[in-house]
Amino acid sequence: MTINSVYILSKSGGLIYQHDHNIPTLEHEKTFSFPLEIKLELQNRNVVVSYGQRDGIKVGHQLAAINGVKVTTAQLEDGRDAMQVLADEANYPINLKFTRPKLTTNEKIFQASMFYPLYALASQFSPEPKSSGIEVLEADNFRMNCLQTLTGVKFMVISDPKQSGIDGLLHRIYELYADFALKNPFYSLEMPIRCELFDEHMKSALEHSEKLGISNV
Amino acid sequence: MTGLIRRTFVALDEEIFKSLYVALIRPHLEYANQPRRHCEMTIYNLYLFDRDGQLLYYAEWTRKKQSGMTKDEEAKLMYGMIFSMKSFVTKVSPVDLREGYMSYATNKYCLNLYETPSKLKFVLNTDTHAQGIKELLHQLYTQVYVEYVVFNPLCSLNKPIESELFATKLDEVVKQSPAYASRPA
């Protein structure tokens, strides 16, 4: 029963608010001996698993630490290059920690603007006349609910598929948007929402509906 | 309920009974009737794409609105949409995905996408109440596609499917599924 994150898109498709509420961190640690059983490669300056998933470590996961030392952008905290450390046989056995990559802010903006055409296409492909765009998008282990207001603003909530009461939450977020963003004299339309009161109320609304979702089940 | 009315009201004539019936019994009947009305289910159409995005097969059953473009263009656009939707879903998902199944729903219809390990994509449009579509798509893959296309020496795997046997079997399985059944053909 979790709500993972909230996205708000302006009517022109830009991301104007994003909040990560409860993102599970997936970490897998394993000690390897030489030679390495999995194939790693550099992607966007990160060390990423490209072949050989095993023990929960999947293709696409990022290298997060070597022997407990953090790795960021393919460099260890002490300045050594991660790929060189991995290539040297003298460093083995070696303990590696992998995580599922988190979205960076840029990627979030990119993904949010990608949803806009999906929404529009979905109503074009409809086999029945007068269909709306995507309202619920469901995959194996998450669900995304989307509410489009009459003015074209989209609210999206990503949650556990079993979470209930999302429709109510979406309307509550709409209310908050109207109360704390639109009624704020310093807020200009289509711009990112930076407002403390809005943040606070959003957090409490999310926590409230998470609790409610549990008691309903 | 009728018994209750008979017990409580001593002087029952036809007029009073009628108004009591309307007030007390009819709402119950109408309430019970409602779920039945919502049960109308249907399957609209099916697209089958191979791993390169080529449309292998298209079938439609009760589609009411055409998209206003040629089949070819529509298939390309559809593949483009499910391709970017897949990438969107994998990026946005908070945890790792397990299987290649996902669906979205609008207020009118529901699109179901099932991807086999060999990257074959089944896209099935149903109405929003349809149940058990994942199983149906799996059945279409294992019992129809594998049986009548993969095992058929005359069918080339990367060409649009022209086998009539495949078409009839597919039609049969879809029409037998409970998601299709409840609407008169």
Per-residue burial over B139-162, b if 16 or more Cβ lie within 10 Å, else e, is: bbbeebbeebbeeeeebeeeeebe
Mean pLDDT of B167-181: 88
Residue with tokens 């879903």: B89
Kindly indicate the confidence band of residue B38, based on its pLDDT and cuts at 50, 70 and 90.
Answer: very low
Mean pLDDT of B152-169: 91
Q: CB of A127 within 8 A of CB of B64? A: yes
Q: Please check whether residues A115 and A184 belong to one and the same domain.
A: yes
Structure tokens at B72: 């070819």
Our count of domains for chain A comes to 2
Give pairs for B65-72: CB < 8 Å, separation 24+: B65/A126, B65/A127, B65/A128, B65/A129, B67/A124, B67/A125
How many residues does this entry show for chain B?
A: 185
List the CATH number of the domain containing A191.
3.30.450.70
Alpha carbon distance B159, B152 (integer Å): 13
Start and end residues for every CATH 3.30.450.70 domain found in chain B: 43-181
Alpha carbon distance B47, B135 (integer Å): 17
pLDDT beyond 60 at B145: yes
Q: Is B99 on the interface with A (CB under 8 A)?
A: yes
Domain end (from A51, A77, A99): A99
SS3 B71: helix
Q: Please check whether residues A17 and A116 belong to one and the same domain.
A: yes
Kindly indicate the confidence band of residue B184, based on its pLDDT and cuts at 50, 70 and 90.
Answer: very low
Q: Do A111 and B107 touch (CB under 8 A)?
A: no
Q: Which domain holds residue A52?
A: 27-99
**DSSP state letters, B98-153:** -SSEEEEE-SS-EEEEEE-TT--EEEEEE-TT---HHHHHHHIIIIIIIIIIIT-T
Q: What percent of chain A has pLDDT over 70?
A: 98
Domain B43-181: state its class: alpha beta
Q: A17-30: per-residue pLDDT in tens?
A: 999 988 888 888 88
Chain B interface test: which of A108, A126, A144 (most B C-beta within 10 Å): A126
Instruction: Tell me how many degrees the CA angle B112-B117-B119 measures, rounded to the nearest 5.
Output: 65
Kindly indicate the confidence band of residue A151, based on its pLDDT and cuts at 50, 70 and 90.
Answer: very high
Chain A residue with the nearest C-alpha to that of B125: A127
Q: Please check whether residues A133 and A160 belong to one and the same domain.
A: yes
Kindly indicate the confidence band of residue A109, based on its pLDDT and cuts at 50, 70 and 90.
Answer: very high
pLDDT value, residue A217: 44
**Least-confidence region, from A122-136, B26-40, B110-124:** B26-40
Residues of A with Cβ-Cβ distance to B113 under 8 angstroms: none
Q: Please check whether residues A131 and A162 belong to one and the same domain.
A: yes
Most confident region among A100-104, B79-83, B96-100 by mean pLDDT: B79-83
Q: A199-216: per-residue pLDDT in tens?
A: 999 999 999 988 887 655
Q: Give the strands of the sheet with A136-138, arranged side by side.
A: A15-20, A3-9, A154-159, A143-148, A136-138, B101-105, B110-115, B121-126, B43-49, B55-60
Kindly indicate the confidence band of residue B31, based on its pLDDT and cuts at 50, 70 and 90.
Answer: low
pLDDT value, residue A68: 84
Q: Please check whether residues A69 and A116 belong to one and the same domain.
A: no
What residues contact B143, with CB distance under 8 A and at least 6 apart? B169, B173
Residue type, A49: V
Mean pLDDT of A80-106: 86
Q: Please check whether residues A31 and A109 belong to one and the same domain.
A: no
Q: What are phi and psi of A67, to 5 degrees?
A: 50, 40
Assembly ipTM: 0.85
